[in-house]
Amino acid sequence: MAEERLHYTPPAVPQVRPAFFATLPTGPTRHLRTSLVWQMLRFAIINLKMIRVISLSHHTGRKIRS
């Protein structure tokens, strides 16, 4: 008996691709992602946010109080 499997085929038209229902960035958003000036600023901000989470987490490695 042949296997009853659904064979994956690439979607024939864009509107049946899962991507059709996804959010897409606009041109300015894409531009900002690799804009050197903007990304330098984001570099600083992201680092600050990460340092904040890292410091919160290091507080969890605290001593057990007896």
Helix (H, G, I), strand (E, B) or coil at 42: helix
Query: Minimum CB separation from another protein for residue 1, in Å?
Result: 13
Per rule CB under 8 A, is residue 48 in the interface with another protein? no
Q: Which of residues 2-41 bind another protein (CB under 8 A)?
A: 3-8, 10-11, 17-25, 30, 32-36, 38-40
Residue 33 CA to residue 43 CA, distance in Å, equals 11
Binding site for another protein (CB under 8 A): 3-8, 10-11, 17-25, 30, 32-36, 38-40, 42-43, 46-47, 49-50, 52-54, 56-58, 60-64
